[in-house]
Structure 1
Amino acid sequence: MEDAPWLGQGKDKRRLSDLIHLWFERHGITLRDGEKRKSAMLWADECMGSPMATEFTAQLFTAYRAKRLDGHFARTKRVTQVSPRTMNLEHAYFLAVFNELKRLGEWDAPNPLENVRQFRTEESEMAYLTREQIDRLLEESRQSSAKDLEIIVRICLSTGARWGEAEKLKRSQITAGKVTFIKTKGKRNRTIPIDPALIAALPKKNGMLFTPCYYAFRSALERAGIELPAGQLTHVLRHTFASHFMMNGGNILVLQKILGHTDIKMTMRYAHFAPNHLEDALKFNPLVRK
């Protein structure tokens, strides 16, 4: 039998990065965001000095976390400071690595982060576009050198699709007046009716329909004079669909199915946009005299 230091046979000489790679090979590779998680953790590992696995402690992680929040470590020049919510994600990634390796018999010590509390965060503001902003964005999208930008924006606004879901559409996903989104965040395919005029405007080709144009989208928003809260860029069209759906009298349970939420609490964030939301407060409060 090969040496298995994590089972008490000698000193564990593995580095934290070794565990990250092991987790990815044994489990992370099956996750939709597995590559993203691995990349984030390997970058964090470098920031922490590439420690031995046994040296990865709550103290080391929380010191790194504090510096990350202060902007000491930045993965991109565009975003120099991260939010507590982002650090909660990194925290969750590392927790999951050690929990999974324990289940697999690859780590016998306690999870080094099991007693570290995540930051409490306030519910983030969900920006959505007004009708005037939608018109400006569509106009700027038409003027863009990215020829697929306008139709991707229209698909998102018409179906509540995430940016990546619309941008990666294939011809095979369009059938009988409907679009089926696959490999979704919720891990369930969802099929949504789509305007025939929008289908007619799709490129006449098989396979991938569009050329990626995320940066063109960001530029179009800037030219349209639309400012968004940090981290809302890729979700603003989805939020816009959901907000206007409810403002126009849509049913919250139908919206849940359209968006593909497995938990109704996620969809309830849009309930207050309904025209009659909580209007009973006006009729049944104690100051009302019958």
Structure 2
Amino acid sequence: MAVRNLKDGSKKPWLCECYPSGRNGKRIRKRFTTKAEANQFEHFTMQQVKDAPWLGEKVDNRRLLDMVDIWHRTHGFSLAQGKYTLNRLNFIAESLGNPLAAQFSAKMWTNYREQRIAGLVKNAKGKFVAVKTSTINHDQAVFNAMIEELIRTGEWRWDNPLGKVRSFKQHETEMAFLTDEQITAVLAAAKVHSNASLYPIIKVCLATGARFKEAEQLRGAQLSRNKITFSKTKGKKNRTIPISPALYDEIYQPTSGRLFKNCYNSMWRMIDDLIPDLPEGQATHVFRHTFASHFMMKGGNIVVLQRILGHTDIKHTMRYAHFAPDHLEDAITKNPISHLF
């Protein structure tokens, strides 16, 4: 609904356009001489719907795209990846056919994911592409989170259809990391790269376990003597990591602004050339995985690693526990045949 000035030179330039029954319901349009009259009519029209108890409960004609819009205006805008999540939710709602929210069901969802896996749903670029079950699980997680948030705020007045839909079970993904030889090769290539920011960014990632984007966006204001404070992180919490005096001197600049230029694409191409057998999708995080893996192999404490990486749930950090030198060593001496030979 809206009141706007058409500026067409007429005696009644103010247009009131409203939808008492929702975006897809009946539209009411009326023109007025003044803005005040248009606003009064809008208020009167919308109030009539609210003040008619004999009509029973008002039919809710909001559709999934309407609910996505409400979610973004009331909550999603505040998320670090709010724009990305909004685009994904809009894509899902459109792929589902944008049904009435009141009619959205678990059956609709299972049909949707079956079609996506079979490649019968167009992707964001308009192409029919089959997706993996991990992609479907991510879709389900973000859509379920949206519905749960709308339930908390009272906008979603029905049961959550995804509440009892199980995600697909996934095999634990391989956590690739760089060997000492590979680290040396990567640093050597980065040092002579045309983008001078690539070398110090990779060193920061390997020295602190930072995500590549966190290091790439690093500002001078985040440096203190021999320490880096990562802010605006994925986990929404700042974390301060000590660094060596040599690294501090190398990256320090007398500015509070950005220290490095963007070089994500350069990094991705370089890693793809140097280490082509990395598992799919891990080039971005290979430096973070390398830090965590070597930290544990050198006897680091898993709880300390959790704090360094900024994981809110230690279950994510436990993926690196098996790199500890004494991990499950008792299996050697306490198995049922150890005393027989």
2:25 is matched with: none
Work out the CA distance in 2 between the residues paired with 1:21 and 1:178: 41
> Do residues 129 (structure 1) and 170 (structure 2) align?
no
Query: Could you tell me how far apart the structure 2 residues matched to 1:25 and 1:77 are?
Result: 27
2:234 is aligned to 185
1:190-229 correspondence to structure 2 within 5 Å: 190-202=239-251, 204=253, 205-229=255-279
The alpha-carbon deviation at position 20 of structure 1 amounts to 0.4
Residue in structure 2 matching 1:26, options 74, 77, 84? 74
Deviates more, 1:276-285 or 1:236-245: 276-285
| Contact 2:225-2:248 within 8 A present in 1 as well | no
Q: Give the conservation status (yes or no) of the 8 Å contact 2:272–2:283.
A: no
Which residue type is aligned with residue 290 of structure 2?
Answer: T
Aligned pair in 2 of structure 1 residues 24, 151: CA closer, same or farther (>3 Å)?
same
Q: Establish whether residue 231 from structure 1 lines up as the match of residue 281 from structure 2.
A: yes
Amino acid at match of 1:24: H
1:45 corresponds in structure 2 to: 93
2:64 corresponding residue in structure 1: 16
One-letter amino acid matched to 2:295: F
Structure 2 unaligned regions, length at least 5 = 1-45, 51-55
For residues 83 and 285 of structure 1, the distance between their equivalents in structure 2, rounded to whole angstroms, comes to: 39
State how far apart, in whole Å, the 2-side matches of 1:135 and 1:89 are: 35
2:105 aligned partner, one-letter code: T
Q: Percent identity?
A: 47
Partner of 1:266 in structure 2? Answer: 316
Shift in CA distance, 221/46, structure 1 to aligned 2, threshold 3 Å? same
Say which SS state the counterpart of residue 61 (structure 2) adopts: coil
Query: Distance in 1 between the 2:138 and 2:242 partners?
Result: 34
Instruction: Tell me, in whole angstroms, the C-alpha distance in 2 between the residues paired with 1:80 and 1:154.
Output: 37
SS at match of 2:290: helix
**What do you get for the CA RMSD once the two structures are aligned?**
2.5
1:16 deviates by 1.0
Cα distance in 2, alignment partners of residues 203 and 232 from structure 1: 29
What TM-score comes out, normalization by structure 1 length?
0.89
* Pair 1:163-2:212 in alignment: yes
Contact 2:123–2:129 (CA under 8 A) maintained in structure 1:
yes
Distance across 2 between alignment mates of 1:230 and 1:186: 24
Q: Give the Å deviation of 1:81.
A: 4.6
Contact 2:65 2:93 in 1 (8 A): yes
Q: 1:152 aligns with which of 201, 213, 222?
A: 201
- Contact 1:140/1:223, CA 8 A, preserved across alignment: no
The answer (yes or no) to whether the contact 1:163–1:234 under 8 Å persists in 2 is yes
Contact 1:160 1:237 in 2 (8 A): yes
User: Which residue type is aligned with residue 96 of structure 2?
Assistant: M
Any conservation in 1 of the 2:147–2:156 contact (CA below 8 Å)? yes
Shift in CA distance, 12/267, structure 1 to aligned 2, threshold 3 Å: same
* Residue of structure 2 in register with 1:143 after alignment: 192
Change (3 A) 1:78 1:164: farther
The verdict on how the C-alpha distance between 1:97 and 1:193 changes in structure 2, with shifts beyond 3 A counting, is same
TM-score where L is the length of structure 2 = 0.77
- Alpha-carbon spacing, 1:28–1:146, altered in 2? closer, same or farther (3 Å): same
Question: How far apart, CA to CA, are the structure 2 residues paired with 1:77 and 1:224?
Answer: 33
SS at match of 1:234: coil
Contact 2:198 2:263 in 1 (8 A): yes
Q: Secondary structure at the match of 1:164?
A: helix
Larger radius of gyration: 2
Counterparts in 2 of 1:101 and 1:77: CA distance versus 1, 3 Å: closer
The answer on 1:103 being equivalent to 2:152 is yes
Alignment of 1:249-264 (within 5 A): 249-264=299-314
In structure 2, how many angstroms separate the alpha carbons of the residues matched to 1:268 and 1:197? Answer: 31
Higher RCO (CA-CA < 8 Å; seq separation 6+) = 1
Q: 3-state DSSP class of the match of 1:39?
A: helix
When residues 69 and 197 of structure 1 are mapped into structure 2, their CA distance, relative to the original with a 3 A threshold, is: farther
Deviations 1:113-168 (A, max 9, x none): 22221111121111111122222222332333322111111111110011121111
Distance 1:198 1:77 in 2: 46
- 19-28 or 101-110, which moves further after superposition? 101-110
Q: Which consecutive residues of structure 1, in runs of 5 or more, have no partner in the other structure? A: none
